Amino acid sequence: MAKTRFDWSALPSGLLGQLKDDFGIEGGDVARALARRFGAAPTETFVKEAWTALRDRWVAKDPVLRRSVVSALRARGLGSASIGGASAKAEVAYLRSCRNSPSLRAIVLPHLLALGRQAPSVGPKPAPAHPPRAKIGKGAAFGPEELRAQVKEVVRSVLGVDDVLVDQDGDIPIRSQASVTYVRVFKEVAVVRVFSPVLWDVGSPSDIEEVVNEINRTTNWVKAIWENGTVVLFSDVVGDPLAESQLAAAINSVVHRADEMGPALQQRYGGRTAFGAPLPPRHLPIGGYL
């Protein structure tokens, strides 16, 4: 298995700027300075020292990530139980009520690692059908069937069901309010891909690539592509070893983001989503994202 590496420069620019101030980093290469100080990849020690910046400059500003972290923290009974609600204001207030504890750091760290973790030959490809090239060795004790069994257990836990369905392509479909998300285990690569086609049949809007790029600039964890007339959201998780909390977070993130984005993109461009009536294509002038 190829070793993974963490790209400190993948941290959002606002977070890097805050960390530069908080840690008194001189010079412009904040990522390199963080790597020298904290090592090749973040640990719970980094989360402990940087939690205020991570909370305010990263978690609080990404709605999907914030919801995932808040849900996990609440499930552990952390923070103030009196602060409820799903609004951004309520979730940020709840995050600020949580003590910087080992339990909190154990929840936040996998999300952080997923943000900057890269495998040398494993990464997002332009379409969900294209597998990465890092292969599982033949004869290895850990193979695609073992990974698939692990993935099914994670999906069962996320959905709160006793069993999950597998479609004719071998993917696990997850139907939500406005979208269908698929969990795919590649047969010869140690990667799990969570993806959701959120909009199609809209022709070729002049600004669609700019909109997709804006999604990717402003969203952590989940990425978007525009290919063959379809907007697809996806998140890749390294499968050997599989960090089950990472996969659960990826599933929740893609599902929630797809539910938010599909209807919003359809209102802008028309076309089809997983559910609901199709709308005729609409070609609007460029004017910012949604």
Helix ranges, the chain (H)? 13-22, 30-38, 44-57, 63-75, 88-97, 102-116, 144-159, 208-218, 244-269
pLDDT tens sequence across 28-37: 899 999 999 9
pLDDT tens sequence across 66-111: 877 887 788 889 999 899 887 889 999 999 999 999 999 988 887 7
Give the residue among 258, 261, 259, 283 at the shortest CA–CA distance from 270.
283
pTM of the complete model beyond 0.85: no
Give the residue among 121, 142, 159 at the shortest CA–CA distance from 242.
142
Indicate whether 114 pLDDT > 50.
yes
Indicate whether 136 pLDDT > 50.
no
Cis peptide before 241 (omega within 30 of 0): yes
Calculate mean pLDDT across residues 107-120. Answer: 67
**Lowest mean pLDDT across 36-45, 115-124, 151-160, 215-224:** 115-124
**Lowest mean pLDDT across 39-53, 87-101, 111-125:** 111-125
Which helix (H) or strand (E) segment is 191 a member of?
strand 191-200
Residues 99 and 80: their CA atoms lie apart, in Å, by 10
Task: Check residue 137 and give its pLDDT.
Answer: 44
**Can you give the length of the chain in residues?**
290
Q: Supply 139's token pair.
A: 């004869």
Q: Is 126 helix (H, G, I), strand (E, B) or coil?
A: coil
Residues 151 and 247: their CA atoms lie apart, in Å, by 8
In contact, 234 and 223? CB cutoff 8 Å: yes
In contact, 63 and 218? CB cutoff 8 Å: no
Helix ranges, 160-235 (H)? 208-218
Task: Say how far residue 60 (Cα) sits from the centre of its chain.
Answer: 15
Taking 3-state DSSP, the helix, strand and coil percentages for the chain, each rounded to the nearest 5, stand at 45, 15, 40
Average pLDDT in the chain: 81
Give the residue among 107, 118, 38, 12 at the shortest CA–CA distance from 67.
107
